[in-house]
Amino acid sequence: MFLKNHWYVAALSNEVGRVPLGRVLLDEPVVMFRTGNGEAIALEDRCSHRGYPLHKGRLIGDSLQCGYHGLLFDCSGSCLKVPGQTQVPPGARIRTYPLIERWGWVWIWMGDAARANDTPITDFHWLDDPGWGAKSELLYIKCDYRLILDNLLDLSHLTFVHPGTIGSAANVEKARVQNDLTEKSAVITRWLIDIEPPPTYTRAGFKGNIDRWQILRFDPPTFVNLYAGAVDTGTGAPQGNRRGGVGLRNLNAITPESATTCHYFWAIAQDRAPGDSSATESMFQEIHQTFMEDWEVLETQQRWNDLTAGRPTVNIHSDAGPIHARRIIDRMLAEEELARRRQAG
């Protein structure tokens, strides 16, 4: 169901502190906390005694005490103490997960820990680049994570779901689309030349027609980087001159909780006034509104997919990117499964 040997986003950095944080990631319960020196730690969120969630316990120094019978676990997952007896039972250790903190997000490795150091984290450096003003948010969405990927990689829906912000009729009728599909990624480039600005761009200060770009990149297992923006029409944006307009990075990391629920980490980064927090906040609120509209669509879609399971669907031209992304995921899942079987003998 889920690719395990990859880095996923587990939390916003400011979520992890001295109070244990419990979260289900890829159908596995995980508890996160910080040591006294600020290091983020992730352990299996399950006491090895009777299975009680450890996030219901408390920190004693840098060790986590179960809130049911008091077993004490250190940052390596070893059980240090069992109240009422001197011996720690064999097999009391719990699993630990590699963590890396980068760009204001806490990244977790859910698969074979021996492979973690050899796998790079997806590049979202715009989140703390001084040339960009950025803000992040976590949403909890009740849908299959692949529905979110479909939504992000097929922007023809903007016309119909987001008419009050980033959508317009031109988004479908005038889009010039190029799909660059490789074995490990999908890049969808959309240009809208000499169009009337949609409401968000009007509020950004455009008075006349604009040239607008939407360049999406999918990287497995669940990452979409959207570079979007606009300049006054005729100023050479398609040839590479994008100065003087609005540039926006919409950064998306979806971490499945279960087959039908997700932790959706997203952010915006704007380069028009990177040092102006009010400009970043204004753009964030514009895009946040569109995410709320997508949220309703995605959860409704999941409910209807459940109700109509097994009924056929059709594909249209704008599905090229989403279909390719799903094929990449399916192929990599098959490869991981084959590797597991070979390892098991």
CATH number assigned to the domain comprising residue 113:
2.102.10.10
Alpha-helical segments (H) within the chain: 145-153, 158-161, 170-173, 199-203, 277-307, 320-344
Asked if 51 and 38 touch (Cβ cutoff 8 Å), the reply is no
Contacts of 3 (CB under 8 A, 6+ apart): 111, 220, 221, 329, 332, 333, 336
Instruction: Clarify whether residues 24 and 131 are in a common domain.
Output: no
Tokens 């040839």 -> residue: 239
State residue 162 phi and psi, 5-degree precision.
-125, 50
List pLDDT tens digits, range 254-299.
999 999 999 999 999 998 888 999 999 999 999 999 999 999 999 9
The residue among 303, 245, 247 whose CA lies nearest residue 271 is 247
State residue 83 phi and psi, 5-degree precision.
-55, 135
**Which helix (H) or strand (E) element contains residue 180?**
strand 176-181
Instruction: Clarify whether residues 290 and 173 are in a common domain.
Output: yes
Instruction: Clarify whether residues 145 and 93 are in a common domain.
Output: no
Tokens 């200060």 -> residue: 205
The residue among 247, 254, 177 whose CA lies nearest residue 210 is 247
Looking at 67, 92, 118, the residue that finishes a domain is 118
Asked if 56 and 141 touch (Cβ cutoff 8 Å), the reply is no
Instruction: Clarify whether residues 205 and 320 are in a common domain.
Output: yes
Single-letter code of the amino acid located at 227: Y
Q: Quick one: 308 exposed, middle or buried, by C-beta within 10 A (0-12, 13-18, 19+)? A: exposed
Q: What is the pLDDT of residue 233?
A: 92
Note the pTM of the prediction, 2 decimals. 0.95
Domain range enclosing 145: 125-332
Instruction: Clarify whether residues 21 and 59 are in a common domain.
Output: yes
Q: What is the pLDDT of residue 128?
A: 94
- Tokens (6 digits) for 43: 């352990």
Q: What is the pLDDT of residue 293?
A: 96
What does the alpha-carbon distance between residue 3 and residue 7 come to, in Å, rounded to a whole number? 10
Looking at 78, 98, 118, the residue that finishes a domain is 118
Query: Is residue 340 assigned to a domain?
Result: no
Q: What is the pLDDT of residue 345?
A: 74
List pLDDT tens digits, range 86-110.
999 999 999 999 999 999 999 999 9
Count of CB atoms within 10 A of residue 160's CB? 12
Query: Is residue 290 assigned to a domain?
Result: yes
Instruction: Clarify whether residues 152 and 247 are in a common domain.
Output: yes
Ordered DSSP codes for 286-305: HHHHHHHHHHHHHHHHHHHH
Q: What is the pLDDT of residue 42?
A: 98
Q: What is the pLDDT of residue 182?
A: 95
**Is the peptide bond between 221 and the residue preceding it cis, with omega within 30 degrees of 0?**
yes
- We report the CATH number of the domain holding residue 209 as 3.90.380.10
Count how many domains the chain has.
2
Instruction: Clarify whether residues 161 and 292 are in a common domain.
Output: yes
* Mean pLDDT, contiguous 10-residue spans, the chain (345 residues): 96 98 98 98 98 98 98 98 95 97 97 93 95 96 98 96 90 90 95 93 90 96 96 85 86 98 97 90 93 97 96 95 97 92 82
Letter string b/e over residues 328-343, b meaning 16 or more CB atoms within 10 A of that residue's CB: bbeebbeebeeeeeee
